[in-house]
Each structure stands twice: as structure tokens, then as C-alpha cells.
Amino acid sequence: MKKIKIAFASDHAGYELKKQIFDYVREKGYEVEDLGPFNSTESVSYATFGKKLGKHLQDKKADIGIAFCGTGLGISYALNRFKGVRAARITNVNDAYLAKLHNNANVIAMSGRFTTFEEAKKMVDEYFETEYEGGRHQSRIDELDEI
């Protein structure tokens, strides 16, 4: 079976939670790659790293992305400009569940400022444990890429 590849990106505000979740996901046995930044001392743009992750997914260098910024919002905006990328900014377990079940999100974006490591782990687990439902949702997802 093909090993799922997961790429990570953040800005400075998402850096610490990214590091923690990166290790958590790696310990689960997934293939992981961190696209940066590699320290939190410098203020960097969520757009730069969101675009880096979006391109990486479009180029099929990873299957799934996990992204972080202060709120999870800015980096999700950057990601959602890439055709085929469906980045869900999630703040609770229900978001994580429905982002996969209905929207087949291929990126989850979380807040480094308002989400704890414990909350983030629960959301990540829910996202991985939920299967996309398909059916009526597929034509809606296809429609997203029609522009």
C-alpha cells in the first residue's frame, strides 16, 4: 500500500504548533515533510508558505497538507488559490470531521495562537479517521475546479 505523504507549512505564528503536530504525525507512521519555516524568530508571510505548500500539492509531491498560522485563516486563503487544493480551516473536531466527510479536504489549517496541542491532536485524529463520503458531494467538489 502506498504510504501517504503529508507536507507541513506555517508562518512564524504557527511554527510551534506545526513542530508539535509534525512529530505527532510522524510518530503515527506517515511520511512527513516540513516546508518551513525552520525557526520562529523571524516574522514571515503566511502567503509565502501557503503558496509553497499549495504548489507542492499541485505538483503531487505530497497527498495531504497540514498548515498553521496565527488563526489558520491567512494560510488557508493562500492554499485555496491552487486548483485542486481544498484547505479547511478547522477550529474543532466537528470541523475536522465534516471537512473530510463532505468536502474531502486535502489540507487542514489550524491556529497556532488559539488552538492547543491537545485540541490539534484531536482534530488531526478525527480528520485521519474519517472517510470521505463521496456521492452527492463529488459533483460539488468537481464544480469548485471548474473556474
Residues that bind ligand RB5 (CB under 6 A): 11, 13, 46, 69-71, 73-74
Nearest to ligand RB5 of 44, 93 (CB atom) = 44
Nearest to ligand RB5 of 71, 80 (CB atom) = 71
Tell me the HSE value of 29 on the side-chain side, using a 13 A CA sphere: 3
Neighbour order of strands in the sheet with 107-111: 31-34, 5-10, 64-69, 107-111, 87-89
Report, in angstroms and rounded to the nearest whole number, the Rg of the chain calculated over CA atoms: 14
With H, G, I as helix, E, B as strand and everything else as coil, classify residue 80: coil
Contact of 36 with 7, CB cutoff 8 Å: no
Q: Does the annotation mark 56 as catalytic?
A: no
Catalytic annotation, pick one of 12, 56, 102, 137: 102
Catalytic annotation, pick one of 12, 56, 69, 137: 69
Smallest separation, CB 124 to ligand RB5 (Å): 19
Contact of 62 with 87, CB cutoff 8 Å: no
Smallest separation, CB 121 to ligand RB5 (Å): 21
Nearest to ligand RB5 of 8, 46 (CB atom) = 46
Q: Does the annotation mark 12 as catalytic?
A: no
Smallest separation, CB 13 to ligand RB5 (Å): 4
Catalytic machinery residues: 69, 102
